Structure 1
């Protein structure tokens, strides 16, 4: 079994999901008392979020690159950035380690294609919805994306940063995001992307009206595929 390296803490809530799900998947595939070999470097999210707000992605890239080097030094055979938004720094992380870095959008694209999705609603942070790094990577694999209107993007961003990353789940926020999904469905999209690793804390994939991919789950599955190959 290969060792999975996780750059976590962005947020700690979703990193907990990564740790639990990867271990569960390994146990389901190997049986018995098996669990995953994981190296975790968990960052303090507060300074990362401050740099995001300043649009200083060069600085966040340096932080994540340092984390990747530390994980390789700890014996990781692959590296995962446990956050969609921080894949804006994928190039810096990939350059910092000789180990493969599994891109969350690649894992998501494969899961969407397996479900027959060609046009998906992207629910994510404002950075992921509005910057091209994510949608362009999906488009290169044949997946078109749409996002909610600006007011809804702002609302969703606030739900993620003010509530989900600190473990707050409210029915009002769930209702608001479901309304965004209903509006997108009416425009003809055929899938949904939980494009922030915390959205799965708010919404149930199985209850969605369209084929849905939780990016955290797709990322974990790709990591376990690698570790057990």
Structure 2
């Protein structure tokens, strides 16, 4: 089994879900007491958030690149960033590594394509929605994207950082998010990607008028599949 290196802590709520999902997939595949080989660099999200607010993406990229190098030095066969937004600095992390970076948008695109979705609504932080780095990665796979209007982007961003990343998901905010999903459907999206890993804590996959792609889940599942590639599957006996 390959060893996965996870750059997490952004926030720790979603990182905990990554840990759970990867291990669940491995145990389901291999059975018994099997679990994943995981290395975790859990960053202090307060430090990362300060860099986001300062628009200091060079420093943020250096911070995550250093974390990736430590994971590689510790034996990681591949690295993943356990958040959507910080894939804004994925090129800096990739450049620092000699092992693959498993990109979250590639995992989303694979699931969307398999389901026949060609136009995805993107729901996430304001950078993910307003800037091209996420949509451009999906476009490499032939997937078009739609985003909410500017006022909705601001509201979704507020819900994420003022509530979800701090462990709160009020029903009023859940209702507002469902409304934004409905607007994306009306605009032509045939599915919506929850392109912030914390959004999955507020919107279950079946909680919407259109299919929802849970980015953290599909990313963790893709990472588990990478880790399991070539692993021996028990066929019986003890």
1:33 aligns with 2:52: no
Between stretches 35-44 and 46-55, larger displacement belongs to 46-55
Partner of 2:98 in structure 1? 98
What root-mean-square deviation, in Å, do the aligned CA atoms of Structure 1 and Structure 2 show? 0.8
Give the secondary structure class of the aligned counterpart of 1:172. Answer: helix
What does 1:68-79 correspond to in 2, within 5 Å? 68-79=68-79
Partner of 1:48 in structure 2? 48
Gaps of 5+ in 1: none
Q: 1:139: Cα distance to partner?
A: 1.3
Between stretches 149-158 and 178-187, larger displacement belongs to 178-187
Give the secondary structure class of the aligned counterpart of 2:22. Answer: helix
Partner of 1:174 in structure 2? 174
Gaps of 5+ in 2: 230-238
Runs of 4+ in 1 over 4 A off after TM superposition: none
Does the 8 Å contact 1:117/1:211 carry over to 2? Answer: no
Partner of 1:116 in structure 2? 116
Partner of 2:211 in structure 1? 211
Pick the structure with greater CA Rg. 2
Partner of 1:155 in structure 2? 155
Q: Deviations over 1:163-217 (max 9, x none)?
A: 1111101100000010111112122210110000111000010233222211101
Give the secondary structure class of the aligned counterpart of 2:197. Answer: coil
Q: Deviations over 1:70-101 (max 9, x none)?
A: 10111111000011110111111111111110
1:18 aligns with 2:6: no
What does 1:74-89 correspond to in 2, within 5 Å? 74-89=74-89
Does the 8 Å contact 1:26/1:224 carry over to 2? Answer: yes
Give the secondary structure class of the aligned counterpart of 1:205. Answer: coil
Whole-angstrom CA distance in 2 between matches of 1:186 and 1:206: 18
Does the 8 Å contact 1:9/1:45 carry over to 2? Answer: yes
Size of the aligned set, in residue pairs, is 229
Whole-angstrom CA distance in 2 between matches of 1:182 and 1:88: 27
